Structures are given as C-alpha cells and as structure tokens.
C-alpha cells in the first residue's frame, strides 16, 4: 500500500472519532432517529467506532511488516514554527498493536453500551465522551512530537472523569476526583520534563531525539528528565505506590469506562516510557532503572496480596475492586520488563501490555454482566447460599469467567503467559551495568507474585462459579432458578477478546515480530 494511502488512513483514524464526538451532540438526521434519539446516538457511536476499527485494520494490513522499525504513514508539517512544534504523526511496530487494541476495545464498548446503556444522563453525552476518549488515546499512540503527546495524553482526562462521575456507580465522585487529581499532578511534573528535553535537545521531535539517543543532553539533565517524565507516566501506568487512585476509579466506573481504563489508558504510561524515556534519555534511564525495577517487583507482590485478602471469605471484598488491584500486579511485570533495558525485557513489556488489555478488558466485561444479573459485585454475596454459583445457573458465563481467570494468572498457551515469562527471563540477565543480584531478587519476587496471583484467582473462581462451599450445584437448587446466560450482544462483544487471547498465546511471534525490530532500533539510538 502506498505511503499516501497509509498517511490518509492514519489521519482518518485520529480525526474521525473527534469529528464523531462533535456529530454526536447534533440532532440526528431525519430518517435515522430510530425508535428514539437515544437509540440513534448509540447507533452513531457503534458506527463511528466500527469505522475507526475498519480503518485501523486496513492500516495494519497495509503496514510494511518486513520493516516494522521504520516509521510509516507519516505526516510531518510545521504547526507552531516559533516554538519548533510540528504536527508529526507516524506508526511503527511499537505503536501499531496499541492502535488496533484501542480501536477494538472502543468498538466493543460502544456495541455493548448500545444494548446495555449505563444509567446516567443523556446518551448523547455518553457517546460524545466515549469518542473523545478514543480520539485522545489514538492520538497518544500516533503523535511523534513531545508537545502533541502531552496534549493528547491530557485529552483523555476530561472524558474519563465525566464517564466515571456521571455514569459510574457508588463512590463515583470520589473515584473521578482521585483519578483527575493524581493524573493532573503527575502530568504537571511530566510537562516540565518534556519541556526540559525539548529545550536542551533543540527539538520536540521524538524521532530526532531518539536518533540523537541523548547525545545532546548531559547526564544530570537526563536524570532530571527521567524523574519528571517518569513520574507522570508512572501515575498512569500505574506504578506502586502511585496507584492508589486506580481501585476507586475502577470500582466506580461504568463497565465501558472500566474496560477502557484498564485496557487502554494504563498502556499510555508504559508506552511513553518505551517511546520517550528509553531512547531519549538512555543514561538517565540506566541510572534510575533499578529503582523502577524495585517498585515494579514490590507492586507485583503487593497487588497480589491485596487481591488475596479481598478474595477471602468474610472480607467484604468487591470483585471489581479485586480485578483493579490485579492490574497493579500485572502492570508491575510491564514495568519490570522496561527496567531491564534489554530488547527481551522491552518486548516483554509491550506484549504484556496487549495481553493485559485483552484479558482485563474481558474480565471487566464479565464483571459488568454479573452485576447486571445479581445487582452486586460483593464477593461474599456472590458466593453465599443464594449467590452466583455460575456453573449451575449460567454455565457459559461461569466458563468465560474461569477462562479469564486462568488467562490472567498466566497459563501457558494463553496471552498472559508470554509477557510475564519474558519479563522474568530478562530480569535474569539485565542490561550491562545493572546489578544482576538485585535483578535476580526482583525476578524471585515476580515469581512469588505469579504464585499469589494463581491463588487469589482460583479462590475467586471457586467462590463465584461454584458457590460458598465449593461444590458445583445444579441450576434449580437453593441457589435459585437459572438466570439468563451469555446474551447475543455479550457474545458478540466478548468473543473477539477470547479469540485474540488464545491466538496471542499460541502465536506470540505475530506480535513479537512487529515489536522486536522497532525495540532494537529504539534502544540502539535509531540504528
């Protein structure tokens, strides 16, 4: 496919959701209103996100897979000449999978919401905010200018805040405010770091800075830049101990908000580390890498211990909150891989990013389905005498929950296995100059985290799918009558995530073949 066609596709992918967000607020054209205006705007959301997904698939199909390290579909024009800021877009093997993941999850959320609209204000605002969120996220993965990256990074805050605050559940105001305050404070520090790099490096162009590989920045400047930029990215990642906004936001968010927050927004933090921090300030990254690894390893164990505590009988644990805390542990593997500064570790981080988006997105969809049926996500109520007992009352839903759990614990043959395994493998032999004994300790902690993850997820499956005593009961017992199993629209929204989780687990080379050449080039200073 020609460069011009790819260029148009990428511009359309970034611009169409923004135009669709504006159009969602306008009156529906005559003949397209359906049964009511609400249904028309929800259909509009499905149509726009579906078109964006189709364009992204076309971009992926036309992408030169033989040269994934080369920036493709580029647009580079002057935007603010006085400040040296350019409108620079492009895609390579690092960003392409994230673009596809974002467009897929947003389309599935729009499709799910068409049939199961969350309680709240006008559907017009919901669809407009969903499309604005998609536009900001796609732009974050496509822009190649530091200032544009910051603007796109901040764009997602507004729609996510309102999605949580207006369509969320109990505690939504607290969750929304914590999300905004933490992210804004981190973003202010990150902006200072980006400006420092741009001014000292003489350009805000991310490709040029990566090619220079920090040659124009002193060691002290690089360390300060990594601290500042890394702080803002670590909040979004989320890295322990900057994660405390995450459980409240996830627990309160509507199903679509939780899926996108876990599946897409968290990836913006780790993507920024790989795209900006490692190639632009390699000496600073090398100095601070052991500290990042330490926080990542502690986060893996901490997240797993909290989940294990929430899963215990009588703890009053919330299933949605448990999955939110599990993200702290899973994203810890991503950060651990990045901290090794090796191609294996960075590839592990990028693979784990995609796997986490697929698996945790599926889990939040499933929890939303359980809450729709039972009106609660409280584990004690779900596992009580009149609780879920999904294997007996809704076997397909129970089977999908068990599948999501074993995928999340890293079962070989599914997507969750490869990122965690490669991150620990990279920790066994980190980059030259990093303390191998320290990284062996971090690897051991990560291994402990995998055991704890298996423990709490199996406890959750036992309690929710089998019931309080762990014995599978038939549908018509004290647990109550059989409930609606997986509905057609749920099947349509969840099946792609199941299929991709299996395919990525069985054929990891499809993703690693894209990321590895690009990672090699980023770590090698564009060479």
φ and ψ at 526, to 5 degrees? 80, 5
Q: What is the DSSP string of 242-297?
A: S-THHHHHHHHS-HHHHHHIIIIIHHHHHHHIIIIIHHHSHHHHHHHHHHHHHHHH
Q: Determine contact, residues 345/406, Cβ cutoff 8 Å.
A: no
Instruction: With a cut of 90, say whether residue 31 has pLDDT above it.
Output: no
Helix %, strand %, coil % of the chain (to 5): 75, 5, 25
The pLDDT score that the predictor gives to residue 485 is 79
Angle among Cα 249, 250, 252 to the nearest 5 degrees reads 70
Angle among Cα 16, 150, 227 to the nearest 5 degrees reads 150
From residue 468, give the alpha-carbon distance in Å to each of 157, 432, 461, 464, 480.
40, 51, 11, 8, 14
Mean pLDDT of the chain: 88
150 vs 153: CA distance, rounded Å: 5
The pLDDT score that the predictor gives to residue 240 is 84
Q: Output the six-digit token pair for 177.
A: 């405010």
The pLDDT score that the predictor gives to residue 242 is 84
Which band of pLDDT confidence, cut at 50, 70 and 90, is reported for residue 236? confident
From residue 251, give the alpha-carbon distance in Å to each of 117, 198, 247, 269, 377.
17, 38, 6, 21, 10
Instruction: With a cut of 50, say whether residue 117 has pLDDT above it.
Output: yes
Instruction: With a cut of 80, say whether residue 86 has pLDDT above it.
Output: yes
CB atoms within 10 A of CB 33: 15
Which whole number is the average pLDDT over 108-136? 90
pLDDT in tens, 471-526: 445 544 434 445 677 888 999 999 999 999 999 999 999 999 999 999 998 887 65
Alpha helices in 25-72 (DSSP H): 37-62
The neighbouring-strand residues paired with 78 are 86
């Amino acid at each position: 496919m020609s460069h011009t066609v790819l260029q148009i596709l990428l511009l359309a992918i970034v611009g169409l959701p923004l135009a669709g967000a504006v159009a969602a607020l306008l009156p529906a054209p005559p003949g397209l209103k359906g049964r009511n205006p609400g249904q028309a705007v929800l259909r509009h959301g499905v149509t726009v996100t579906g078109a964006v997904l189709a364009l992204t698939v076309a971009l992926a199909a036309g992408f030169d897979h033989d040269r994934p390290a080369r920036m493709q579909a580029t647009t580079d024009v002057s935007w603010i000449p006085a400040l040296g800021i350019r409108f620079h877009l492009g895609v390579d093997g690092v960003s392409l999978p994230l673009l596809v993941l974002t467009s897929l999850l947003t389309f599935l959320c729009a499709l799910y919401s068409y049939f199961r609209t969350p309680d709240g204000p006008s559907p017009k605002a919901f669809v407009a905010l969903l499309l604005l969120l998609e536009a900001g996220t796609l732009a974050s993965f496509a822009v190649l200018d530091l200032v544009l990256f910051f603007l796109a990074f901040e764009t997602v805050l507004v729609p996510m805040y309102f999605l949580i605050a207006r369509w969320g559940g109990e505690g939504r105001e607290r969750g929304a405010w914590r999300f905004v305050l933490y992210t804004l404070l981190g973003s202010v520090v990150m902006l200072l770091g980006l400006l420092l790099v741009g001014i000292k490096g003489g350009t805000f162009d991310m490709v040029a800075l990566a090619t220079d590989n920090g040659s124009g920045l002193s060691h002290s400047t690089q360390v300060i830049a990594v601290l500042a930029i890394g702080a803002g990215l670590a909040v979004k990642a989320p890295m322990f101990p900057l994660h405390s906004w995450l459980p409240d936001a996830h627990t309160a968010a509507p199903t679509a908000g939780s899926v996108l927050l876990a599946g897409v927004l968290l990836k913006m933090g780790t993507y920024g580390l790989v795209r900006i921090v490692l190639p632009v300030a390699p000496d600073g990254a090398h100095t601070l890498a052991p500290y990042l690894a330490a926080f990542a390893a502690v986060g893996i164990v901490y997240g797993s211990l909290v989940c294990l505590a929430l899963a215990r009988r009588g703890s009053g644990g919330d299933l949605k909150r448990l999955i939110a805390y599990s993200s702290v542990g899973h994203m810890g593997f991503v950060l651990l891989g990045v901290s090794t500064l090796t191609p294996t570790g960075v590839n592990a981080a990028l693979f784990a990013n995609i796997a986490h988006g697929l698996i945790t997105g599926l889990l939040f969809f499933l929890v939303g389905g359980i809450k729709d049926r039972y009106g609660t996500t409280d584990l004690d109520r779900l596992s009580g005498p009149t609780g879920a007992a999904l294997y007996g009352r809704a076997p397909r839903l129970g089977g999908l929950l068990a599948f999501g759990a074993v995928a999340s614990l890293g079962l070989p043959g599914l997507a969750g296995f490869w990122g965690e395994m490669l991150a620990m493998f990279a920790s066994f032999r980190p980059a030259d100059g990093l303390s191998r004994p320290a990284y062996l300790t971090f690897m051991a902690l990560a291994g402990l985290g995998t055991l704890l993850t298996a423990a709490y997820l199996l406890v959750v499956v036992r309690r929710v799918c089998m019931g309080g005593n762990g014995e599978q009961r038939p549908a018509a017992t004290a647990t109550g009558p059989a409930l609606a199993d997986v509905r057609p629209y749920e099947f349509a929204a969840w099946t792609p995530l199941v299929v991709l989780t299996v395919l990525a687990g069985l054929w990891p080379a499809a993703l690693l073949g894209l990321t590895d050449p690009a990672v090699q080039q980023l770590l090698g200073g564009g060479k």
